[in-house]
Structure 1
């Protein structure tokens, strides 16, 4: 029975002819006859998928006892999920006394849509332990759900449960697991799954190849990615634009010329689309090769490929890599003057360009423009603005921006606090730096070496050697932080403390500890000089 709390959709009721046909169909169902009119059956399915509350009301409260050639509840649940009403779908699932595996599958899809992977796993566990009716298709759905939620450990556990239940994994199972490992940055595990497909008598499909190449791309393993790409072509798995784009993405950064060559080769045998060109433009971004990226955008437009916001954003990111802030601002203006709309990622790329070029005033203008466009500046936006102000010696402005971020309910992370602490270090504000460090720890952030090193460096500049050495407690043997603390000791000629810090770095490489050795020697020398001054005074 449909819960009363569920309200009908804002859609019209069926026509009089539809209603009469459906009533006749339901009359046959209530009399227990199986010779259903195909047209009426199709009409009811359509009604249930579009206006599920109307369909369920026609069925009445005794619909569970009807002999229908399909599950109207499953159709209604699927309709709710497609319309992003996953809560309604789960409510429908809970409204019946007996759930079939088909309904469990629909409920699992609803959990997936609502990003409720934990609830989905609970449903699957209940079905598995209480009724033992889980099949490979259900496991595939659960593995994919966890993959999309970036829960690769749970996807792997489900794969193991599938084997424990003596079920046979199919190619969809393997592809779903590859996807989980790809999103989780587990490229070695993805390749292991790729190899296991042959052991199960399955040949890798183009989806398998694409997933593994993407996993290698995330792991900066371009050699493995290109090897798989070559193998896919030789095995006649078929090279589509998705596969080629994954290979291009794997060459992002230092191997950008290979990315352009892959695009050229693909153009020679097929028709590259926006996805392939976007991947190639993105490949040019880390190295700041914005001229090449711009040429690609122009080439795409000459081939009647309509550019989108994402490819413009990648072009701006390439400008940021080269600190070409004027070009980044120009492209932003071009984008806004056209039919496209810049998003938060676009503005963050422009902010990054201004940060790299140390154009703090333009960065503040871009941040203001973002907020004027009714967009929400995120932690990346504020981190760039805080960072560039700090690097340009405007630590007060950095603190103002940090305060604005917190007031706007931005979820501050360790990067934001680290940039603010670095700004204070640049401005010789050791007291404020320590306050920010304490504030970050109070909100349960796990402070990294960058933040600690910046705070220690701020203390070192002010000659606060006791505070520098105190901050080192709980921090691993990091050369930068220890060198800063040793330098603080050297300023006050506390050579014993400097040497003690040097001993703690025992085991590090000679190159790493060279700076610390130099600082320790300076501390001893300064102590000796002061001793000589004292002796001459006598």
Structure 2
């Protein structure tokens, strides 16, 4: 038992499970809990659920601790549906959920982006702890519900006082539009001497989406004035703020400052710098940053390549975008839909519709679920080349996307197929069940008919 727990703690989940298999039957709930912990460490949630089935097959009775381990395991794997099913299973076995059970379920909802469910679970938690409040606030942060996060924070503050962990969580919830509120909260924490590096990092991160890098820099200065030593995370958030403002020069400056502070930049840091180059359309610098990753013994990921592919596409370097896509596929990078979409968009911008269709076909041959962005970019490429039949063919099985249908309708209009264009827009309205703005569809319809008329006139004049 002790050896099994030691293996689980050191992420040697295979050895831990071997010890579990060799254990004599009937196995105790403590053994099952240790095995589930090993599965969680090894990111083997499906295997962990099979262990629970084994428990029931052995007619052994699970206790609350076993269910807690299983719910937490599924939460870490972002499998909130399984966590909820396990919570219901615990109740069906007449077991009493404890605080750990409730906290694990709320965390599962938080990681799964289910902030409403997280709040519902929070209201059913008897005597919630700081961890409970923090998980609920984090769920609200993921759901962009900063007002609700503030209400939870105020409720907890009245109950047990200010907690640093919860402070950081509520600051994170104020990312984006609510960044001024984050600065106010941080000022309150400073007055109560509660502000630490984590709180300052969260406040800097709150400034990042809106590109408020000067405010973020001021926060870094304030932290250093309080003898708080900056770390890589706070510099990375500052660089992300520069990136949102297309401040590529500032991003490079703070990257150099990070290094001069004897800190180690990580993949997230370099991706933030790449994002700055992308937003500023500095494709050559983006390629330099991408190359610097390997020189720093860091691994470029899909986000790194996507940013580089995107900036090359924006700068009419579609061939370079394809070279980068090929390089990503040759490496150990797990290509995602965003990477393919940016490559297709690069081809679309470069008026390379056959290549765009080839990349789309390449993406469809993978196990990825192609989204509306990728297919819309391919349709737009066909629209620019007046390939109306190919554009309408790509709509097959497509959801009600205004961008995709508008591009296909425009392609029809350019080829004097105005009746086809109107049929497509009618199909869009029917699929969307009235959710699409009729003013938008009418505008597209008028443009398509006008394009068709201009095309017919062009053909007529060409006959003389």
Smaller-chain TM-score range? over 0.9
Cα deviation, residue 527, structure 1: 5.5
Determine helix, strand or coil for the equivalent of 1:281.
helix
Distance across 2 between alignment mates of 1:454 and 1:120: 41
Tell me the residue number matched to 1:391. Answer: 314
Distance across 2 between alignment mates of 1:314 and 1:527: 51
The structure 1 residue matched to 2:201, chosen from 278, 287, 312, is 278
Is 1:446 the counterpart of 2:369? The answer is: yes
8 Å Cα contact 2:402-2:428 kept in structure 1: yes
Determine helix, strand or coil for the equivalent of 2:396.
coil
TM-score, normalised to structure 2, is 0.95
Q: Within 5 Å, which residues of 2 pair with 1:121-270?
A: 121-197=49-125, 202-236=126-160, 238-270=161-193
User: For each residue in 1:142-161, what CA deviation from the matched residue of structure 2 results, as whole angstroms up to 9, or x when unmatched?
Assistant: 11111112111111111101
The structure 1 residue matched to 2:15, chosen from 88, 92, 117, is 88
The structure 2 residue matched to 1:303, chosen from 203, 226, 232, is 226
Is 1:487 the counterpart of 2:410? The answer is: yes
Question: Any runs of at least 4 consecutive aligned residues in structure 1 with deviations exceeding 4 A, and if so which?
Answer: 530-534
Distance across 2 between alignment mates of 1:150 and 1:495: 47
Cα deviation, residue 128, structure 1: 3.4
TM-score, normalised to structure 1, is 0.82
Distance across 2 between alignment mates of 1:345 and 1:511: 42
Greater length-normalized contact order (CA 8 Å, ≥ 6 residues apart): 2
Give the total of aligned pairs. 458
Distance across 2 between alignment mates of 1:210 and 1:337: 35
The structure 1 residue matched to 2:4, chosen from 42, 62, 77, is 77
Determine helix, strand or coil for the equivalent of 1:185.
coil
For structure 1, which runs of at least 5 residues remain unmatched after alignment?
A: 1-73
Q: Within 5 Å, which residues of 2 pair with 1:437-476?
A: 437-476=360-399
Distance across 1 between alignment mates of 2:230 and 2:114: 32
Distance across 2 between alignment mates of 1:354 and 1:532: 48
Tell me the residue number matched to 2:31. Answer: 103
8 Å Cα contact 1:486-1:519 kept in structure 2: no
User: For each residue in 1:121-150, what CA deviation from the matched residue of structure 2 results, as whole angstroms up to 9, or x when unmatched?
Assistant: 222232234233211122112111111121
Distance across 2 between alignment mates of 1:531 and 1:429: 25
User: For each residue in 1:207-244, what CA deviation from the matched residue of structure 2 results, as whole angstroms up to 9, or x when unmatched?
Assistant: 111111111011001111001111111222x3211101
User: For each residue in 1:292-335, what CA deviation from the matched residue of structure 2 results, as whole angstroms up to 9, or x when unmatched?
Assistant: 11111111112121211111111110100100000001111111
Tell me the residue number matched to 1:17. Answer: none
Q: Within 5 Å, which residues of 2 pair with 1:43-54?
A: none
Cα deviation, residue 409, structure 1: 2.9
Cα RMSD over matched residues? 1.7
The structure 2 residue matched to 1:290, chosen from 195, 213, 233, is 213
Distance across 1 between alignment mates of 2:454 and 2:104: 64
Q: Within 5 Å, which residues of 2 pair with 1:386-535?
A: 386-506=309-429, 507=434, 508-526=436-454, 529=457, 533=461
Q: Which has the larger radius of gyration?
A: 1
Cα deviation, residue 381, structure 1: 0.4
Cα deviation, residue 402, structure 1: 0.8
Cα deviation, residue 476, structure 1: 2.3
